[in-house]
Amino acid sequence: MDVLITGAARGLGYELAKQFGEAGDRVYATTRNPEKANALNRVAASSGGKVTVHRMDVGDGASVKACARELAGKPIDILINNAGVWGGLDTQTFQNMDYENWAYEFNIMAMGPFRVCQAFLPNVLASRRKTIATMTSQTAAAAYDHVIGYSYASAKAGLNRLMTGLAQELKDQGVTVTLVHPGWIRTEMAGPVADLDPPDAAADVKKLLIGLTPADNGKWLKWTGDEHPW
Ligand SMILES: NC(=O)c1ccc[n+]([C@@H]2O[C@H](COP(=O)([O-])OP(=O)(O)OC[C@H]3O[C@@H](n4cnc5c(N)ncnc54)[C@H](OP(=O)(O)O)[C@@H]3O)[C@@H](O)[C@H]2O)c1
């Protein structure tokens, strides 16, 4: 199986790249800064060419297009939109909103996956599985009844609507578009208070992703495989 992962230098994306690579899959691991991606570069170096590292900033259309040109003609069975940013709660409350950060988060987490889907659709269509899986967050759900960071949660909510739109638009071409809440994971984003170890969360997410079928098109799933409330 051939997969592309955005934001693969650390956190969940790194663990997914490592675990898909260890399983012998072909991994296009993308990062903003390949020269600084030391752990990922080590995974690539010991993969016998199965894992390769590519530059892509999902917030920059030219960068996404350049990466797509580099990978033109390569089938991608699972396109994994993983890259995300969390600017911290202090600057995204009702009383204190950093509007520039809000626009930045929307660009990375909603527009970013959209432009990645646009640029890599030919690769997805050339594959057997034709799957697009996008990491969203439980905080985007109207059913989530805790304090939210408004920029992050609204960017992910926008992302959810974009992906459900694509699920409708692309289903006749045999594409499966699925949203995944990966759990609360002890990465740089969520910090040490979170629930799940990155390797365990990645193992669950990987299992979920490789089990996706057209019946999952348009669904929002938890890392456990259960449906997520909207
Ligand atoms: N951790 C959680 O509890 C949790 C919960 C729900 C959802 N999620 C979602 O799961 C995904 C992975 O999160 P994580 O916890 O692994 O976060 P993380 O440790 O903060 O890693 C985020 C990754 O996104 C990359 N990234 C940021 N901006 C980018 C850009 N413009 N272009 C390309 N890559 C960019 C980062 O790359 P650099 O190394 O270049 O900075 C990094 O590799 C995110 O979408 C997040 O929103 C996480």
- The answer to whether residue 229 is domain-embedded is no
- The answer to whether residue 227 is domain-embedded is no
- The answer to whether residue 12 is domain-embedded is yes
Counting from 1 in the atom list of ligand 1, the atom nearest the Cα of 37 is 39
- Picking from 170, 144, 161, 174, the residue whose alpha carbon sits closest to that of residue 220 is 161
Ligand 1 midpoint to CA 7 (Å):
6
| Enclosing domain of residue 75 | 2-222
Instruction: Kindly state if the Cβ of 31 falls inside 6 Å of ligand 1.
Output: yes
What angle, 0 to 180 degrees and rounded to 10, lies between the N-to-C axes of helices 150-170 and 99-106? 30
Average pLDDT of span 151-158: 98
69/56 Cα distance (integer angstroms): 11
Q: Residue 84 burial by CB count (10 A; 0-12/13-18/19+): exposed, middle or buried? A: buried
Residue 230 confidence (pLDDT): 97
Is the Cβ–Cβ distance between 129 and 106 less than 8 Å?
Answer: no
Is the Cβ–Cβ distance between 87 and 151 less than 8 Å?
Answer: yes
Instruction: Kindly state if the Cβ of 67 falls inside 6 Å of ligand 1.
Output: no
Instruction: Kindly state if the Cβ of 139 falls inside 6 Å of ligand 1.
Output: no
Q: Who's near 74: CB < 8 A, 6+ residues apart? A: 2, 28, 123, 126
Percent of the chain predicted with pLDDT > 90: 99
Ligand 1 midpoint to CA 172 (Å):
31
- The residue nearest atom 5 of ligand 1, judged by CA position, is 184
Average pLDDT of span 226-230: 98
Ligand 1 midpoint to CA 84 (Å):
4
Q: What is the CA radius of gyration of the chain?
A: 16
Ligand 1 midpoint to CA 166 (Å):
22
Task: Write down the H helix ranges in the chain.
Answer: 11-22, 38-45, 61-70, 99-106, 112-125, 150-170, 198-210
- Indicate which CATH number applies to the domain containing 7: 3.40.50.720
- The answer to whether residue 228 is domain-embedded is no
pLDDT digits (tens, 9 = 90+) for 3-27: 999 999 999 999 999 999 999 999 9
Token pair for residue 133?
Answer: 């899986």
**Structural domains of the chain, count:** 1
- Picking from 2, 158, 177, the residue whose alpha carbon sits closest to that of residue 84 is 158
Token pair for residue 211?
Answer: 């089990």
181/204 Cα distance (integer angstroms): 11
Q: Could you tell which of 5, 6, 12, 206 is best to mutate to test the pocket of ligand 1, judged by most ligand atoms within 8 Å of the CB?
A: 12
Helices and strands in the chain: count of H runs, count of E runs: 7, 7
- The answer to whether residue 230 is domain-embedded is no
Instruction: Kindly state if the Cβ of 185 falls inside 6 Å of ligand 1.
Output: yes
Instruction: Kindly state if the Cβ of 221 falls inside 6 Å of ligand 1.
Output: no
Instruction: Kindly state if the Cβ of 38 falls inside 6 Å of ligand 1.
Output: no
221/128 Cα distance (integer angstroms): 22
pLDDT digits (tens, 9 = 90+) for 96-149: 999 999 999 999 999 999 999 999 999 999 999 999 999 999 999 999 999 899
Regarding pTM above 0.95, the answer is: yes
Ligand 1 midpoint to CA 188 (Å):
8
57/94 Cα distance (integer angstroms): 29
Is the Cβ–Cβ distance between 205 and 12 less than 8 Å?
Answer: yes
Count of other CB atoms within 10 angstroms of residue 40:
25
- The answer to whether residue 9 is domain-embedded is yes
